[in-house]
Amino acid sequence: MKKRKIKNLCHVLVLLTALFSCSKKDMSGPDKPGTNPPKEDVFDPQTVGITAKKVVNGGGNISDYLLYIPDGYNTRKDYKWPLVIFLHGIGEIGTNVDILRNVALPRVVKGQPFVMVAPQCTKSWWNGATLQTFYKEVVAKYHVDSNRVILTGLSMGGMATWDWICASPNNFAAAVPISGVGDPKLMGNVKKMPIWAFHSADDPTVSVNGSRLAVQALQAIGGNIKYTEYPTGGHDAWTRAYATPELYTWMLNQHK
């Protein structure tokens, strides 16, 4: 009698084990056991192309910006896009953000596989604290990868690019300062950051030494620096820089 009870108990245990095993397989869904489908993020859809936007956290000298959204942004729910922040020069200071549509990167950005934001400085000069507030807003608002944020700018914006990456290097995966000025004493802050700088040798507005000295300081400490110096072109080194296909390949390869 005891043997029969033990035998029956063994049958029950085997049955329970089989049922538990089947339930685990069912929970794994239609994919291979132990795998899950890509997670789809929930985010606000955006208008594809370039649109004008208002900042939410105002108070500084940025109130508007241009936003570029690439094709596929609204449908690729499991992909976070690289973000490029573009800083204009002194000639675009003001309150009409639409003038940025025909300037440098915004003028040629169509078709690029990244999100771009181009804030407009309303007065004086780029302000570091205001830029930092803007950075936090756009990274939180759009479906972008915070490990793939690239900063670029020209002239006044090129100077601000050098200043901002040196002050907040953890914000960015890479930087592209054009016709700017970097402080050689601060280059240790961005030794590991990939940087591609551009300048014209005959620039009459911002001396080419503004880039040369920063580049030399980075080269001296083994920095991750690329430098393109055009022999001619005056102050406008950005038209050729942003027309360089290799620049976009390089930018899209950068990760923190």
pLDDT in tens, 193-231: 999 999 999 999 999 999 999 999 999 999 999 999 999
CA atoms within 13 A on the CB side of 181: 9
Please choose, from the candidates 78, 68, 176, the residue with its C-alpha nearest in 3D space to the C-alpha of residue 115: 68
Of the chain, the percentage scoring pLDDT greater than 70 comes to: 84
Percent helix, strand, coil in the chain, to 5, is 40, 20, 40
Q: How confident is the model at residue 86 (pLDDT cuts 50, 70, 90)?
A: very high
- Tell whether pTM > 0.85: no
At residue 131, the 3 state secondary structure works out as helix
